[in-house]
Amino acid sequence: MTTNAGPDPADNPDRPQEPSTSEASSPGSAVTAAGEARDDAAPPRRGRFTRSSSFYALKQYPDFRYLWVGNFLTVGAQWIQVLTIGWLVLHLTDGNAFLTGTVVGIRTFPVLLIGPWAGVLADRIDRRKMVMVTQGCMAVAACGFAMLVILTDLDARPVTGPLQWWHAFVYMGIAGVAHSIIQPVRQAMVANTVPRNDLASALALTGIAHPSMRITGPALGGLLIVTLGYKWNFLLEAIAYLGIVLLMIPVRLRYREEVRRRSESALRSMAEGLAYVAKEPRILQLIVMSLIPNFVFSPLAFLLPVFTTEVLHRGAGSGGLLAAAIGGGGIIAAIIVSSIGYIVRKGMATALGMVGGCVFVLFFAQSHWFLASMLLLGGLGFCQYVFRVGNSTLLATITPDALRGRVMSIYFLDNGFTPLATLLISVFVHFWTPTGAFTVIGAVVVVLAALQLVFFRQVRQLE
């Protein structure tokens, strides 16, 4: 979740973004004679949506519309992958909680090694082409893994065929490499497809993909596992990746600053991004706040198959509904935020969303009833959406476009620690119980989130 939108936007609130020289003369490009993107360059047309509408950006900016639809396909494919691979390894290993938790978590490990360099690359080359090439490679990998599943008799005891549990780890490692490349790039592209004064609306719309696909992806994935088996999920995943490639073909990044030739080395460029984050306390605090979701919220989602079978004594269909409940809470939050806003300052709402999510994790650990578990996970999804979208929107108003790829790659670095967190929690669960493990973890993160709420004063005051 994944939904995570990352830091996106302009040098300062008063400085408009500049599109690249190659894009400045393209038809429909909102550019002044001086080569600067104008916030008012795309006048509202008569129609259903006005600029105050949350869906105005979808109607007015076709490049963002393609990107928005592609984001749904990306997140949907990811959730189908996460759900299916967890249950598949659980099946192949006869219920091994350790391997089940780590196979999903391993997907985020490459972020630590590749993420920062992908951010440097994203500030130097065509971001759109990076997404197209990476997603095309993932389509090939998904088809290859689907063939292994098709050629294996998963109903036999023991399982017969070429598929082994370690193949799932290899496949998720490949997926992790692709994910670490496109995650910061795709988020940077949001600010390149709309003018600055429509950026907050665009980010809110982009954030809807995670909770909605968190419902659709796991629910569809669980249904396909129960009715048709595992193979169709990976074929569907491959089709989604191909769809993203096709959607990116007509996209033009009209609001990207001109990419100037850089004489400095890639290492120096990375150091520049690190120095910017270190000297900007607001960005640094927002990045620190994002640690808890990737150390606790994501491992909880990855270990839902174990919790579903050992605590609730249910199967894959129920596990899909539990994962979907998190998305349901996120959709409710998206509707509220899109219609009436955050009510309080975005910074305060972001901090409260973090505290609330931790409280729901603690309560979920105590639940042994399926309905109560669904409601508590829905509350977690609500708070998680408020935090993630608020966090990314605040970052979007601070970060300059010239540094956007690097700052976002730093922002997403904590994703790389998710496998370690999942590994440690999986060991905790394996030697104790899911209830006991998440009770202790939930209590710890509630205290940490409360401390952030108290001491991160600069974040609380952000509008």
> Residue 362 and residue 229: Cα distance in Å, rounded?
34
Handedness of CA 7, 11, 13, 18 (dihedral sign): negative
Token pair listed for 124: 């130097």
Distances (CA, A) of 278 to 281, 304, 350: 7, 36, 21
CB contact set of 348 (below 8 Å; sequence gap of 6+)? 460
Q: What is the pLDDT of residue 57?
A: 76
Using CA atoms of 444, 396, 458, 274 in order, give the dihedral in degrees to the nearest 10: 80
Q: What is the pLDDT of residue 53?
A: 52
Q: Which residues pair with 160 in a beta bridge?
A: 153
Query: What 3 state SS string does 407-447 have?
Result: HHHHHCHHHHHHHHHHHHHHHHHHHCCHHHHHHHHHHHHHH
Closest CA relative to residue 398, chosen from 271, 296, 277, 292: 277
**Per-residue buried b or exposed e for 134-152, using 16+ beta carbons within 10 Å of the residue's own CB:** bbeebbebbbebbebbbeb
Q: What is the pLDDT of residue 261?
A: 57
Domains of the chain, CATH where assigned: 53-257+265-460 (1.20.1250.20)
The helix/strand count (H/E) of the chain reads as 21, 0
> Residue 173 and residue 155: Cα distance in Å, rounded?
26
Token pair listed for 454: 């108290």
Q: What phi and psi, each to the nearest 5 degrees, are found at residue 452? A: -65, -40
> Residue 202 and residue 333: Cα distance in Å, rounded?
16
Q: What is the pLDDT of residue 260?
A: 60
pLDDT in tens, the chain (463 residues): 333 443 333 333 333 333 333 333 333 333 333 333 334 444 444 444 445 455 777 888 999 999 999 989 988 888 888 888 988 998 898 888 778 877 877 777 787 778 777 778 777 778 888 899 999 999 999 999 999 999 998 888 888 889 999 999 999 999 988 888 887 788 778 888 888 777 777 877 887 887 777 677 777 887 888 888 888 889 999 999 999 999 999 998 888 776 565 566 777 887 888 888 888 888 888 888 888 887 888 788 778 888 888 888 888 778 878 888 888 888 888 888 777 777 888 889 999 999 999 999 999 998 889 999 999 999 999 998 899 888 888 887 788 877 877 888 788 777 777 777 877 888 888 888 888 888 998 899 999 999 988 888 888 888 7
Contact 30, 24 (CB under 8 A): no
**Predicted TM-score (pTM) of this structure:** 0.68
Q: What is the pLDDT of residue 4?
A: 41
Closest CA relative to residue 206, chosen from 25, 349, 396, 52: 396
Amino acid of residue 337? V
